Amino acid sequence: MRIIIAGGHGKTALRLARRLGSGAVGLVRDPAHVTDVEATGAEAVVCDLERASSGEVARIVEGAGAVVFAAGAGPGSGAARKETVDKGASVLLAGAAETAGVRRFIQISSMGAGKPPAPGRDAVWAAYIKAKTEAEDDLRARDLDWTILRPGRLTDEPGSGLVRLEPEVSPGSVPRDDVAAVIAAMLDAPGTVHRTLELVSGDTPIADAVGGR
């Protein structure tokens, strides 16, 4: 199955591409990132989701079995790019998936989305949470087989394969390895469709956590 991964050079996206191998297609903004994506065994396609048209993106995703939105403006970016990437790129990609007839869409969001940011957080964090929340709302309104995944604080520690995956969990952290493994499992898990699920490290094997939805 051909899987489109937006934000293909991100740390979680590269881990996911490595799991999926030759069936994965990583979308990257910077041509210099093509080699890193290809090193995972995946295909790389240069596509800037802040500038591309819906039609251009629809042509790229056409024929795919699923789309994963793993893009984000990243640390150090300002509030404006939270709007154009964390929200705008997700909206563009979801619209392109609808146009191309690709029903399965997994969106990586963030714990904290869906509610006002905690008091004392800065304006950029507030813009990030607002963008993620609005991207989630847009996706839920679409005729797609969507799943929204809200991981906790991401770490680069080796994955344990043990998680907690529920509609609401206490704040915590989760290795990017385990996030990638959960997404890979979700691709063929119909019980996760039309669900918003939070993810942190826990004590349930990933196959059971995803398959038990």
Q: Select from 145, 166, 160 the least CA-distant residue to 213.
A: 166
Contacts of 2 (CB under 8 A, 6+ apart): 23, 24, 25, 63, 64, 65
Provide the pLDDT for residue 213: 63
Provide the pLDDT for residue 102: 98
Q: Which residues of 23-62 are buried (b: 16+ CB within 10 A; e: fewer)?
A: bbbbbbbeeebbebbeebebbbbebebeebebeebbebbe
Provide the pLDDT for residue 209: 97
Could you state, in chain order, the average pLDDT of each consecutive group of 10 residues for the chain (213 residues)?
A: 97 98 96 98 97 97 98 82 94 98 98 85 88 97 98 97 97 97 97 98 98 74
Enclosing domain of residue 155: 3-211
pTM assigned to the model: 0.95
Task: Report helix, strand or coil for 106.
Answer: strand
Number of domains in the chain: 1
Can you give the CATH number for the domain in which 51 is found? 3.40.50.720
Beta-sheet pairing, 162-166 with 195-201: antiparallel
